[in-house]
Amino acid sequence: MKFIHKYGAPKRFYQLAGTFIPWFAGITAVLFVSGLYLGLYWAPPDYQQGDAYRIMFVHVPNAWMSMMAYVIMASFAATGYIWNIRLADILARVSAPLGASFTLTALVTGSLWGKPMWGTYWVWDARLTSELILFFLYVGYMALQASIDDARRAAHASAILAIVGVVNIPIIHYSVYWWHTLHQPASLTLTNQPKIYATMLIPLIVMSLAFMFFYLTMLCVRARSEILLRERHTDWVRKLVEGKP
């Protein structure tokens, strides 16, 4: 608890995030460049889909991140709600647009792949529908945040929505096993051997790490601006803006 209160102070986090951002951004850039090289050039074509499968290197990491970002957002929202930690409120709030972007990218890239491969842009199967609901959850969370002026009340009201929405995450994950869906089941699971050949799996993992570090970088950048905005009347921000020590 003492640790959280020391590093959980927005001012302290602002400085800490500032030192981390260049590292995170650098790692993101290296991973993106190597991931794209491996995925678009080094990896072999697929035995059935040819080169069209390569959209997976963007689609799959975004789909994973859409769910991971939601769990992170809801955890921060719950932490902020239960223990009244301002930094957790801030991190939950700035995480939402990032998660929404991941979700939208997963939906759009999946749809672009679906047309030539499945024969349709969209079907209302359980996987696609639950992922669309995830997008609406993000949008609803952001709308609720935006509609309440008081930062603390906005955080606590929207926290309830974020927490309730967590129920959707296992539904998205298990939808392909619980129901007949057009979407294929997972190629990568914790318990079974991967159903993706190693030379295709490596770029996928690199790209997933790239999106993960991209998320971390953007989370820090957005949290810093949100902190400055919220603490604009404090002395330390004034000093920082005026450039005086």
Partner 1 sequence: MRKQNKKLLFVLVGLAGVSVAVWLILTAFRHNLVFFYSPTQVLEGKAPTHGVFRLGGLVEKGSIKKDGLKTTFTVTDLRHSMVVHYTGILPDLFRQGQGVVVQGRRVGNTVFMASQVLAKHGANYMPPDVAAELKRSMAAKAKAALS
Residues in touch with partner 1 (CB under 8 A): 44-49, 52-53, 56, 78, 81-84, 116-120, 123-126, 160, 163-164, 166-167, 171, 178-182, 184-187, 195-197, 199-200
**Residue 199 burial (10 A CB sphere; 0-12, 13-18, 19+):** exposed
d(CA 230, CA 223) in angstroms, rounded, equals: 10
170 with 74: CB under 8 angstroms?
no
In whole angstroms, how close is the CB of 141 to partner 1 at the nearest point?
16
Nearer to partner 1, 166 or 205 (CB): 166
CA–CA distance, 73 with 187 (Å, rounded to integer): 26
Measured from the CB atom, is 44 or 243 closer to partner 1? 44
* Least distance CB 194 / partner 1 (angstroms): 9
Shortest approach of partner 1 to residue 93 CB, angstroms? 18
Pick 32 or 118: Cβ nearer partner 1:
118
One-letter amino acid of 219: L
Closest to partner 1 by CB, 34 vs 187, is 187
Here the tokens at position 136 are: 């609406």
Work out how close the CB of 169 gets to partner 1 at its nearest, in angstroms, rounded to a whole number: 11
